[in-house]
C-alpha cells in the first residue's frame, strides 16, 4: 500500500509539467520544490535533533552566492559550482555546529540568528566580493552536456531530482543508527549521553548535512531566478522555512514537503483570491488557525486521524 | 504515512489549479503594476498605486484606448526580489498583461527583468535608480526615472550657488544609497568640492546618532542625505538634537518636503531637496496645466498631499504605457515594445521620450526626466533664492 | 574626546530603550518558554494606541502612554488566553509558530488600519537639546530614559516583593513543583504575558514620539529585544537592563569608530561571543543551560 502510494506520488510529480495549466503554475511548483529542499534541510535539525536554527537563510544564501559568484566571475559551469555551493554551506554548518555545541534551545536559536545577521551584513558591505546591495544579476542557466536547462520544464525536473535526493538522504539518515541517535538526543540528551551516544559528533553531523542541503537549495534558487541579492538572507526566508516544517509536521519525512507545497501555494492562491491589502493578513490568520487546530502539524494530525478511524 | 500525505499534496495541488485558473474576460486592456505595498517602503508603493489609478481613470474617462477600457492589475512585491519575480511571472503568464510598470526598488526591478526577457514583455521602470538596469542589455526595459548619475548632473549647475565646499554623505545601505554616494561624490569632486565621510544606515534603522556624531566631527558644510522620507525625518530630528548645523541636501526625489515640515518641524528648516515634481507650484512644471490637474485630482480623492512627489511616477508610468499601446494600435507585448521607442508625450514630470542606453543591439530605453531643487523656508516649500530671483 | 563622550551618551540613551524592550520579553521568554516573535508588534501597538489616544480622544501625552499600556496588557492577556493556553502542553516550536502567525497578522492588520505612511506622535517637550559641556541630549530622550528606569525598577519590585512576583519566580524555577504548591499556572502565565506585552506597549508609546510610528517598526524592536534577553540571561531583569545598555553603547561605538555599515553586526558578534563564553548570559550568577 505504501509502495503504491509512493508510486502514485512519484507519478504526479513526474507528469506535473504535462497537466499544469500554465508556466506560472510550473513556476510555483519549482519554487515549492526549492523550498521543499530547504524545509527538508531544516527538518533534519529541528525535527530530528530538536535544535531550532533560525539562521537557516544564511546557509541558503551562502549556497546562492557561492554558485552565482563562481559561475559569474570565474565562469565555472553549473555543476562544479553547485558542488562548491553545497560544500561551502556544509562547511558553514560545521562551523556553527562546532561553535555552538554546548548550546541548546533558545541559546542555539540566538547564535544562528546572529550568524545569519553577520553574514547578511557582510553580503551588503563587502562590495568587492558580492557587489553589495545591488546583487548579482545574470546568473547563467545550468547546462547538462549539450543541453541548456533554461526552460521551466527542464528546470522543474532538475529541482525535482534535488528534492528526491534530499528526501533520500534524509530518509537514509533518519532510518540509520545515526537517525536513532538524533532522536535519542531530542528526546533525552542526558540519557543518550549516558548510553554512549557521542552528542557533539551527531549534532555537528546533523548541522553539516542540513546546511549542505540548504546550500543545494540556494544554488538551485540562484540559477533559477538568475539574480542573487542580499535579500536572500532575509529573516523572512528563515521564517518561511520554519512555518513549512512545523506546520507540515516536524520530525516526519513527508511533513516538510507538504508544508513547502502548501505555504508556497498559499500566497499565490491568496494573490488570486483577494486584493493585496488582505493577502498577508489572511496568511497570518490562517497560520494561527492551523496551529490552533493542528498543533503538531498537518502530517502527524492526518496520521492520527487515519489511525483512529479503524478503531472507533 | 507517505500515502496519506499524497492525498493531501494532491488536494492542495488541485485547489491551487482550480483557484488560479486564468480569468477569461478579454475586453479591457490590462496593464500590470508591481509595487512594494507592504513592508518598510509600503507608503511609497501605495502613493505610486494612487497615481497610477488616476492615470487609469483619466484615460477611461476619455473613452479608453481605441474604445477599450484600461484595467490595472496591481501586485505587491513585499520589498522582496523573489516576490517581484513571482509577481511578474503571475502577471505575464496568468493574467497575460502585455506591459508592466514597476518595481520601485532597483533589486526588485533587477529580479523581475529575466522574466521580461523570458516572455518578451516590456516594463516601464518608474522609480529605480541603479545605473545597471539600463546597461544590462535587456531590450524590454524602459526607464522614466533618472539614474543617480543623471540626477547628479542635474544638480551640477547649482553646486556653486549652494555654496558647497566640503560634503559628507549619509545614505541607506542599499543599491540606491550607495549608487547616489558614488554619483554625487564624483560630480562634486569634479566641481572641486572636498568629500569627507560616507556613512550608511540600515533600511530599518531608527537611531542614527552614531553616524551623525561622526559626521559632525569632519567639519564639513553640507550633508547629502539619501533615504526614504521616514529616515530623513529621523536624521533631521537627531541632527537637530546634536546641533549638527549643516546644510542638508536630500537626493532621489523621495523626500516629500511637505511630510518633513509636518513631522520634523523646525529640524527640516533650510534643507534642500532634489525632487522630480513640484506640487507646491505646479505652474512651474513643464506642463503646468497637466501638473495642476493632477494635484487637484489627488486632493479631490482625499490622498495626502505629501504623497504627490512620489505619486506622480505612477501617473507618468501608466500614461507612457497607454500612449505606447495607442501608438501600437494593439495590446501585444512586442508591438508595445516597438511603440515605446516612438512615444513622445508630456508627463507630470515633463517630456517623456526614450533614448537608447546599454550594449548595441539590445539597448534599453532611458528617458531624460526633469530635475528640480526646492528648499524648506519658514515652514514652507519654496524655490531656493538663486532660482526664485529669476 | 568630545566625540567619544557624545557617542557614550547616545549609546546609553539608545541602550535604555533596548532595556525597556528587553525586560518584557525576558519575562515571557524566561517564564513561559515562549519565543515571542510578536513582542515587537505589541511595541507597535503601543505607539499606535498612543497616537490614537492623542489624536482621537484628545488626551494629554501621559494619559496616552497609560492608554497604550492598558491596550498592550489587554491584548496580551487575550493572546495568552485564546492562543497560548490551549497550546501549553505543546513544544516550544508550536507556540513559536503561533506567535509568528500573530506577528504577521498584527503587522498587516496595522498596515490595513493605519496605512503605510509613518505617523509622527506629538509630545509636550521642547525640541532644543539640553547642552552639558560637549554633549547634547534631547529633553524627550532624557525623559524616556528616566521613565524606562522607573518602569524597570517597578517591574523588579513587582517580581521580588509581591505575592504575584513570588509565584512567578516559583513558576520560572520549577513549573511542576509550583503547580503542586498551589500556584495557578494559568493565571501566572496570563499575568506574565499581559505584563510583558504592557511593557512593550509602554516602550512603543514612549519611543513613538522619539522616532516615528509605522507598521514594520516592530521587526527591529523584536530583534533587539531578543539580543538583550540573551545578553542578560533568561528571566533576568537586572541582566536585561545591563544587557540593553551594553548593546546600545557597543553599537554606537561600533558605528562611530569601526563602520556604520556593520553597525548591527557589532551586536550580533557580541551575542555570539557571550554565548560561547558565558552561555547563560553575561550577568548570570550560576550557569544555566536550558
Residue (of B213, B376, B237) closest to C123 by Cα position: B237
CB contact under 8 A, B20 and A138: no
Mean pLDDT of A79-99: 93
Regarding whether B45 and B65 lie in a shared domain, the answer is: yes
CB A37 within 8 Å of CB A194: no
Regarding whether B160 and B120 lie in a shared domain, the answer is: no
The pLDDT value recorded for residue A309 is 58
Q: What confidence category does residue A228 fall into, taking pLDDT thresholds of 50, 70 and 90?
A: very high
What range does the domain containing A230 cover? Answer: 25-234
Regarding whether B111 and B30 lie in a shared domain, the answer is: yes
CB contact under 8 A, C261 and B200: yes
Residue B209 has pLDDT above 80, yes or no: yes
Q: What confidence category does residue B80 fall into, taking pLDDT thresholds of 50, 70 and 90?
A: confident
Mean pLDDT of B333-361: 95
* B378 part of a folded domain: no
Residue B349 has pLDDT above 50, yes or no: yes
Helix C217-232 to helix C2-32 angle, to the nearest 10 degrees?
80
Query: B93 in contact with A at a CB cutoff of 8 Å?
Result: yes
Which strand (E) or helix (H) includes residue A183?
A: helix A177-187
Query: Alpha-carbon dihedral of residues B95, B99, B103, B108, nearest 10 degrees?
Result: 80
Rounded distance, CA A118 to CA A113, Å?
9
C-alpha cell at A136: 548579482
Q: Which CATH architecture fits C2-277? A: Orthogonal Bundle (1.10)
Residue B16 has pLDDT above 70, yes or no: no
**Percentage above 70 pLDDT, chain C:** 96
Please give the distance of CA A252 from its chain centroid, rounded to a whole number. 14
Mean pLDDT of C184-200: 91
The pLDDT value recorded for residue A305 is 81
Mean pLDDT of B224-240: 92
* A270 part of a folded domain: no
* A243 part of a folded domain: no
Q: What confidence category does residue C177 fall into, taking pLDDT thresholds of 50, 70 and 90?
A: confident
Mean pLDDT of chain C: 87
Lowest mean pLDDT among A185-189, C47-51, C214-218: A185-189
Q: What confidence category does residue C168 fall into, taking pLDDT thresholds of 50, 70 and 90?
A: confident
* A249 part of a folded domain: no
Q: Which of C127, C217, C263 sits opposite B210 (nearest CB)?
A: C263
pLDDT, tens digit (0-9, with 9 covering 90-100), for C253-279: 988 888 888 888 888 888 888 877 877
* B350 part of a folded domain: yes
Which residue has better confidence, C221 or A177? C221
* B1 part of a folded domain: no
Looking at B249, B275, B301, the residue that finishes a domain is B275
Query: C116 in contact with B at a CB cutoff of 8 Å?
Result: yes
Residue C290 has pLDDT above 60, yes or no: no
* A292 part of a folded domain: no
Rounded distance, CA B201 to CA C13, Å?
18
CB contact under 8 A, A117 and C272: no
Residue A46 has pLDDT above 50, yes or no: yes
State which residue of chain B sits closest to C219, comparing Cα positions.
Answer: B204
Write down the pTM of the prediction: 0.86
Distance from the Cα of B210 to chain C's closest Cα (Å) equals: 5
Mean pLDDT of A82-99: 93
Q: How many other CB atoms sit within 10 Å of the CB of residue A173? A: 18
Residue B306: C-alpha distances to residues B202, B279, C217 (Å) = 24, 9, 21
Mean pLDDT of A140-162: 88
Residue B15 has pLDDT above 60, yes or no: no
pLDDT, tens digit (0-9, with 9 covering 90-100), for B19-74: 554 443 457 999 999 999 887 788 889 999 999 999 999 999 999 998 899 999 99
What range does the domain containing B271 cover? Answer: 150-275
Mean pLDDT of chain A: 88
Q: How many domains does chain B have?
A: 2
Distance from the Cα of A284 to chain C's closest Cα (Å) equals: 4
Which residue has better confidence, B14 or A93? A93
The residues on A that touch C, with CB distances below 8 Å, are 46, 52, 99-100, 102-107, 109-111, 113-115, 117-118, 121-122, 124-125, 235, 239, 242-243, 246-247, 250, 277-278, 280-281, 283-288, 290-292, 295-296
* A199 part of a folded domain: yes
The pLDDT value recorded for residue C286 is 45
The pLDDT value recorded for residue A9 is 83
Looking at B212, B241, B275, the residue that finishes a domain is B275
Residue A4 has pLDDT above 80, yes or no: no
Residue A53 has pLDDT above 90, yes or no: no
Residue (of C261, C267, C146, C10) closest to B239 by Cα position: C10
Residue B315 has pLDDT above 50, yes or no: yes
Q: What confidence category does residue B88 fall into, taking pLDDT thresholds of 50, 70 and 90?
A: very high
Dihedral sign of CA atoms C169, C174, C175, C179 in order:
negative
Which residue has better confidence, C15 or A274? C15
State which residue of chain C sits closest to B264, comparing Cα positions.
Answer: C120
Regarding whether B98 and B69 lie in a shared domain, the answer is: yes
The pLDDT value recorded for residue B6 is 54
Q: How many domains does chain A have?
A: 1
Q: How many C-alpha atoms does B309 have within 13 Å on its Cβ side?
A: 25
* A49 part of a folded domain: yes
Residue C214 has pLDDT above 80, yes or no: yes
The pLDDT value recorded for residue C41 is 95
**Percentage above 70 pLDDT, chain A:** 97
Rounded distance, CA A139 to CA A149, Å?
13
State which residue of chain C sits closest to B234, comparing Cα positions.
Answer: C211
Mean pLDDT of B215-244: 92
Regarding whether B308 and B266 lie in a shared domain, the answer is: no
Contact list in C for residue B306 (CB cut-off 8 A) is 117
Residue C289 has pLDDT above 50, yes or no: no
Residue (of B96, B119, B94) closest to B21 by Cα position: B94
Rounded distance, CA A209 to CA A94, Å?
9
Regarding whether B235 and B344 lie in a shared domain, the answer is: no
**Percentage above 90 pLDDT, chain A:** 45
Q: Which of C102, C104, C230 sits opposite A107 (nearest CB)?
A: C230
Looking at B275, B305, B333, the residue that finishes a domain is B275
The pLDDT value recorded for residue C213 is 92
Neighbouring chains of A at 3+ CB pairs under 8 Å are B, C
* B142 part of a folded domain: yes
Residue A198 has pLDDT above 90, yes or no: no
Distance from the Cα of A75 to chain C's closest Cα (Å) equals: 30
Mean pLDDT of chain B: 90
Residue C287 has pLDDT above 60, yes or no: no
Q: How many other CB atoms sit within 10 Å of the CB of residue C133? A: 7
Residue B287 has pLDDT above 80, yes or no: yes
pLDDT, tens digit (0-9, with 9 covering 90-100), for B140-191: 999 999 999 999 999 999 999 999 999 999 999 988 899 999 999 999 999 9
Which residues is B369 bridged to in the sheet? none
Amino acid at each position: 500500500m505504501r509502495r503504491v502510494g509512493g508510486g502514485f506520488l512519484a507519478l504526479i510529480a513526474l507528469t506535473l509539467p504535462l497537466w499544469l495549466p500554465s508556466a506560472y503554475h510550473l513556476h510555483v511548483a519549482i519554487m515549492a520544490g526549492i523550498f521543499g529542499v530547504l524545509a527538508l534541510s531544516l527538518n533534519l535539525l529541528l525535527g530530528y535533533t530538536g535544535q531550532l536554527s533560525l539562521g537557516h537563510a544564511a546557509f541558503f544564501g551562502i549556497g546562492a552566492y557561492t554558485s552565482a559568484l563562481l559561475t559569474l566571475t570565474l565562469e565555472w559551469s553549473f555543476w562544479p559550482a553547485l558542488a562548491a555551493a553545497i560544500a561551502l554551506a556544509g562547511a558553514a554548518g560545521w562551523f556553527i555546529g562546532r561553535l555552538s555545541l554546548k548550546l541548546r534551545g533558545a541559546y542555539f536559536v540566538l547564535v544562528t540568528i546572529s550568524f545569519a545577521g553577520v553574514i547578511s551584513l557582510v553580503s551588503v558591505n563587502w562590495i568587492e566580493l558580492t557587489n553589495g546591495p545591488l546583487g548579482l544579476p545574470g546568473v547563467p542557466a545550468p547546462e547538462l552536456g549539450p543541453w541548456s536547462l533554461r526552460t521551466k520544464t527542464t528546470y522543474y525536473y532538475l529541482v525535482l531530482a534535488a528534492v528526491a535526493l534530499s528526501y533520500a538522504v534524509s530518509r537514509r539518515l533518519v532510518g540509520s543508527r545515526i537517525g536513532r541517535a538524533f532522536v535519542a538526543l531530542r528526546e533525552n540528551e542526558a540519557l543518550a549521553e549516558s548510553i554512549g551516544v557521542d552528542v557533539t559528533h551527531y549534532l555537528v553531523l546533523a548541522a553539516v548535512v542540513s546546511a549542505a542541503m540548504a546550500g543545494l537549495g540556494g544554488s538551485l534558487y540562484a540559477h533559477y531566478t538568475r539574480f542573487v541579492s542580499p535579500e536572500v538572507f532575509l529573516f523572512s526566508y528563515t521564517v518561511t522555512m520554519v512555518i513549512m516544517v512545523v506546520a507540515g509536521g516536524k520530525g516526519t519525512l513527508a511533513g516538510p514537503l507538504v508544508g513547502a507545497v502548501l505555504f508556497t501555494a498559499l500566497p499565490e492562491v491568496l494573490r488570486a483570491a483577494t486584493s493585496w491589502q488582505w493577502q498577508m493578513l489572511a496568511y497570518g490568520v490562517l497560520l494561527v488557525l492551523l496551529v490552533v487546530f493542528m498543533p503538531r502539524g498537518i502530517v502527524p494530525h492526518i496520521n492520527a486521524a487515519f489511525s483512529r478511524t479503524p478503531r472507533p | 504515512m507517505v500515502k496519506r500525505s499524497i492525498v493531501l499534496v494532491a488536494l492542495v495541488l488541485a485547489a491551487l489549479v482550480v483557484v488560479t485558473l486564468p480569468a477569461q474576460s478579454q475586453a479591457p486592456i490590462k496593464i500590470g503594476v508591481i509595487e512594494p505595498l507592504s513592508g518598510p517602503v509600503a507608503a511609497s508603493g501605495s502613493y505610486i498605486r494612487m497615481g497610477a489609478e488616476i492615470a487609469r481613470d483619466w484615460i477611461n474617462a476619455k473613452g479608453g484606448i481605441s474604445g477599450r477600457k484600461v484595467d490595472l492589475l496591481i501586485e505587491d512585491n513585499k520589498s522582496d526580489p523573489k516576490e517581484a519575480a513571482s509577481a511578474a511571472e503571475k502577471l505575464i503568464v496568468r493574467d497575460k498583461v502585455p506591459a508592466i510598470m514597476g518595481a520601485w526598488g532597483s533589486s526588485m526591478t533587477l529580479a523581475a527583468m529575466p522574466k521580461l526577457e523570458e516572455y518578451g514583455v516590456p516594463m516601464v521602470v518608474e522609480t529605480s535608480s541603479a545605473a545597471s538596469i539600463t546597461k544590462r542589455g535587456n531590450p524590454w526595459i524602459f526607464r522614466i526615472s533618472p539614474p543617480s548619475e543623471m540626477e547628479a548632473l542635474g544638480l551640477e549647475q547649482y553646486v556653486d550657488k549652494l555654496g558647497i565646499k566640503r560634503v559628507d554623505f549619509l545614505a541607506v545601505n542599499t543599491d540606491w544609497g550607495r549608487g547616489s554616494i558614488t554619483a554625487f561624490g564624483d560630480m562634486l569632486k569634479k566641481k572641486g568640492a572636498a568629500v569627507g565621510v560616507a556613512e550608511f544606515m540600515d533600511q530599518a534603522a531608527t537611531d542614527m546618532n552614531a553616524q551623525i556624531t561622526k559626521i559632525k566631527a569632519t567639519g564639513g558644510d553640507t550633508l547629502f542625505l539619501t533615504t526614504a522620507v521616514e529616515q530623513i525625518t529621523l536624521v533631521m530630528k537627531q541632527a537637530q538634537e546634536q546641533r549638527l548645523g549643516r546644510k542638508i541636501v536630500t537626493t532621489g526625489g523621495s523626500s516629500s518636503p511637505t511630510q518633513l515640515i509636518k513631522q520634523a518641524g523646525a529640524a527640516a528648516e533650510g534643507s534642500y531637496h532634489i525632487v522630480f515634481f513640484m506640487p507646491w507650484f505646479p505652474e512651474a512644471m513643464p506642463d503646468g496645466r497637466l501638473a495642476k490637474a493632477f494635484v487637484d485630482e489627488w486632493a479631490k480623492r482625499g490622498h495626502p498631499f505629501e504623497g504627490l512627489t512620489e505619486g506622480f511616477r505612477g501617473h507618468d508610468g501608466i500614461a507612457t504605457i497607454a500612449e505606447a499601446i495607442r501608438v501600437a494600435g494593439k495590446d501585444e507585448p512586442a508591438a508595445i515594445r516597438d511603440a515605446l521607442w516612438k512615444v513622445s508625450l508630456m508627463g507630470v514630470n515633463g517630456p517623456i521620450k526614450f533614448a537608447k542606453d546599454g550594449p548595441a543591439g539590445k539597448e534599453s530605453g532611458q528617458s531624460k526626466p526633469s530635475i528640480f531643487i526646492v528648499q524648506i523656508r519658514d515652514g514652507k516649500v519654496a524655490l531656493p533664492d538663486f532660482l526664485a530671483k529669476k | 574626546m568630545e566625540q567619544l563622550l557624545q557617542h557614550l551618551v547616545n549609546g546609553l540613551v539608545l541602550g535604555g530603550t533596548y532595556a525597556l524592550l528587553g525586560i518584557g520579553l525576558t519575562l515571557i521568554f524566561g517564564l513561559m518558554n515562549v519565543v515571542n516573535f510578536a513582542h515587537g508588534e505589541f511595541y507597535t501597538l503601543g505607539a499606535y494606541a498612543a497616537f490614537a489616544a492623542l489624536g482621537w480622544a484628545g488626551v494629554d501625552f501621559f494619559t496616552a502612554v497609560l492608554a497604550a499600556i492598558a491596550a498592550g496588557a489587554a491584548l496580551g492577556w487575550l493572546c495568552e488566553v485564546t492562543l497560548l493556553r490551549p497550546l501549553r502542553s505543546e513544544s516550544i516550536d508550536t507556540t513559536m509558530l503561533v506567535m509568528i502567525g500573530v506577528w504577521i497578522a498584527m503587522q498587516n492588520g496595522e498596515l490595513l488600519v493605519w496605512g503605510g505612511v509613518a505617523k509622527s506622535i506629538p509630545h509636550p517637550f521642547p525640541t532644543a537639546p539640553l547642552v552639558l559641556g560637549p554633549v547634547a541630549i534631547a529633553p524627550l530622550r532624557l525623559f524616556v530614559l528616566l521613565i524606562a528606569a522607573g518602569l524597570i525598577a517597578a517591574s523588579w519590585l513587582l517580581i521580588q516583593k509581591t505575592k504575584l512576583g513570588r509565584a512567578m519566580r516559583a513558576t520560572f524555577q520549577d513549573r511542576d513543583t509550583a503547580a503542586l504548591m498551589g500556584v495557578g499556572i494559568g493565571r501566572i502565565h496570563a499575568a506574565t504575558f499581559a505584563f510583558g506585552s504592557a511593557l512593550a506597549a509602554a516602550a512603543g508609546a514612549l519611543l513613538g514620539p522619539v522616532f516615528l510610528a509605522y507598521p514594520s517598526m516592530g521587526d527591529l524592536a523584536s530583534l533587539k529585544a531578543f539580543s538583550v534577553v540573551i545578553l542578560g540571561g533568561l528571566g533576568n531583569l537586572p541582566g536585561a537592563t545591563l544587557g540593553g545598555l551594553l548593546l546600545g553603547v557597543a553599537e554606537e561605538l561600533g558605528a562611530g569608530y569601526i563602520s556604520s555599515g556593520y553597525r548591527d553586526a557589532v551586536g550580533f558578534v557580541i551575542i555570539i561571543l557571550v554565548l560561547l563564553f558565558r552561555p547563560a548570559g553575561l550577568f548570570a550568577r550560576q550557569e544555566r543551560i536550558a
